[in-house]
Structure 1
Amino acid sequence: MAPEGDVDHADSRIRFSKIVRTLMGALMGLFGNAHTVDPSSAQRDYARLLGNGEQVYAAYLLVRDTILFTDRRLVFVDKQGLTGKKVEYHSIPYRSITHFSVETAGHFDLDAELKIWISGSPAPIEKTFTKGVDIYEMQAILTQFVAR
């Protein structure tokens, strides 16, 4: 137990971080920045990324980034820099996903979280979603493709 008057700085930082995440999530939700994208629209927009016959099953827009669930893989489209002209495309075959978890939003924490572990990588890929995305639907889609 810490002596009286001592402040546990780690706990304070964690609480502050959660408050900031909650506020940012609320702001993003108010401005409608996290939402689903029509799969046929994503199919057209990202046609150059897709293999022959590959179909977009679901797509989600997170501020400037996009997540594509195709019938073959998961694609993270990460727009970088101030202009977003530089883009990183992170392609993950479903067979490389060892496991995943979802954390639903709560009363005060408005964000839902998705964590995906890839074989050969100890740290998960983490994505945060505001109320505009149905995290249960996303989990069902991942389950459908990962469990093949």
Structure 2
Amino acid sequence: MGLFDAILGNAGEMSAEDATEELATILGPEEQIELAYKLIRDMIVLTDRRLILIDKQGVTGKKVEYRSVPYKSITMFTVESTGHFDLDAELKLWVSGQPSPIALEFNGKTNIYDMQGLLAAKIAGK
């Protein structure tokens, strides 16, 4: 992920190994990370059990909010791919009990179709 993408607020892919190492303290027993994305300090992680949104706060990033969303709570999602002039992809998630969707943006290098396929399998069944 380049500096330009970070300035624009677009997440880029990161390896599952790096994400597993960083999140070892919050993963459940035998929980496996399937996809992970990073935006400067924040992360978006899809495991075999849930979606985790990590928000590192403050100057030092010591305070961290972990938002865990079970796949069964996601009622709908949309994926918008990149275009000729719109260089970022977007994912919107509607979670039961929430009035508005969670909107996430990804850089053009991110394969949004991998995420869409995994979400479809987890939400709609395999």
Please indicate the TM-score interval, normalised by the length of the shorter structure: 0.7 to 0.9
Give the Cα separation in 1 of the matches to 2:46 and 2:21.
Answer: 14
Asked whether the equivalents of residues 72 and 94 of structure 1 are also in contact (C-alpha less than 8 Å), the reply is yes
Asked whether the equivalents of residues 98 and 118 of structure 1 are also in contact (C-alpha less than 8 Å), the reply is yes
Moved over 4 A (4+): none
The amino acid across from 2:12 in the alignment is H
Q: 1:84 aligns with which of 47, 53, 61?
A: 61
Greater strand content: 2
Q: Percent identity?
A: 51
Give the Cα separation in 1 of the matches to 2:32 and 2:70.
Answer: 14
Q: Does 1:47 align with 2:24?
A: yes
| Structure 1 residue ranges without an equivalent (≥5) | 1-25
Give the Cα separation in 2 of the matches to 1:100 and 1:124.
Answer: 9
Give the Cα separation in 2 of the matches to 1:62 and 1:133.
Answer: 12
The aligned counterpart of 1:11 is none
The aligned counterpart of 2:98 is 121
Q: Which structure: larger Rg?
A: 1
Q: Does 1:107 align with 2:84?
A: yes
The aligned counterpart of 1:144 is 121
Asked whether the equivalents of residues 94 and 145 of structure 1 are also in contact (C-alpha less than 8 Å), the reply is yes
Query: Map of 1:3-18 to 2, 5 A cutoff?
Result: none
Greater helix content: 1
TM-superposed deviation, 1:138: 1.1
Query: Map of 1:65-84 to 2, 5 A cutoff?
Result: 65-84=42-61
The aligned counterpart of 1:59 is 36
Q: Does 1:27 align with 2:7?
A: no
The amino acid across from 2:56 in the alignment is K
The amino acid across from 2:58 in the alignment is G
TM-superposed deviation, 1:35: 2.2
RMSD over aligned Cα atoms: 2.1
Aligned length: 122
